[in-house]
Amino acid sequence: MYENDFSGIQIIDSFVTHHLFQITATLRLLGIEAIITGIRPALAETAVRLGINLSDLKTFATVQQALESIEHKASAQG
C-alpha cells in the first residue's frame, strides 16, 4: 500500500497528472495499491476543467479516511 497526500498541492496540471499516473501504474505493476489523499474541491474542479480523469485513482479527502478504509479492508479480510 502506498499513500500520497496532496493537501499541500495548490495547482494541478497535465504534467503533474501524467507523473501521478506513471507512478501509480508502476506501483500497480509491482502489486502495490496507491491511495491519493488531500485532493481539495478546488483542485478537483481544476482537474475536471482541464479534462483530467482521476476516476482510476483511489482517492480520499483526508489521510484519516484512507487509514480507516485500509483498517476496514484489513478487518474484513480476516
Domains of the chain, residue spans: 2-77
pLDDT for position 17: 80
Rounded Cα distance between 60 and 38, Å, is 7
Q: pTM of the entire structure?
A: 0.70
pLDDT in tens, 20-47: 888 988 999 999 988 989 888 888 888 8
Question: Which of 31, 30, 49, 29 lies closest to 41, judged by CA?
Answer: 49
- Residue 76 DSSP SS3: helix
pLDDT for position 67: 93
3-state secondary structure labels for all residues of 13-72: CHHHHHHHHHHHHHHHHCCCCEEEECCCHHHHHHHHHCCCCCCCCEEECCHHHHHHHHHH
Rounded Cα distance between 36 and 58, Å, is 6
Report the top-level CATH class of 2-77.
alpha beta
